[in-house]
Every structure is written in structure tokens, then in C-alpha cells.
Amino acid sequence: MAGKIKQMIDTIIAQRAKDNPMLAGVIKTKLMLKGIDPNKFTPQSDDDPAILAKLDVVAKELK
């Protein structure tokens, strides 16, 4: 299923930032530091199991 990575990134940012653009920027930076560039993925991007696993870990860390 293409686009799952983009969907997960958007969900993480939306849940954590709660419509605060500054927090959204901070979360995007944290993702980049963990090796995931949010700007790189689109809804048509192929899903990489390694990136999905990293996003699962990040999502659990940020809760």
C-alpha cells in the first residue's frame, strides 16, 4: 500500500503538534534527526518496511 509512510508522518505531527506550527516544526526536526525526512515522502511514495518500523518507534517515544 503506497502512502502509508506519509500517512503515519502526518498523523504523528497532527497528534503531537495540535495545530501549533512551531511544535510541528520541532517534530519534523526530530524526525529528521532520526533519519526520516518528512518532506521526502508523498502519498504516492512506496512503503519501506524499515522506515515504517522507525516511525512505529518514534510514535511510541513521542507519546
Residue partners of 42: CB distance under 8 A and separation at least 6: 3, 6
Per-residue pLDDT tens digits for 1-43: 678 999 999 999 999 999 999 999 999 999 999 999 999 999 9
At a CB cut-off of 8 Å and minimum separation 6, what does 24 contact?
Answer: 13, 17
Q: What is the pTM of this model?
A: 0.87
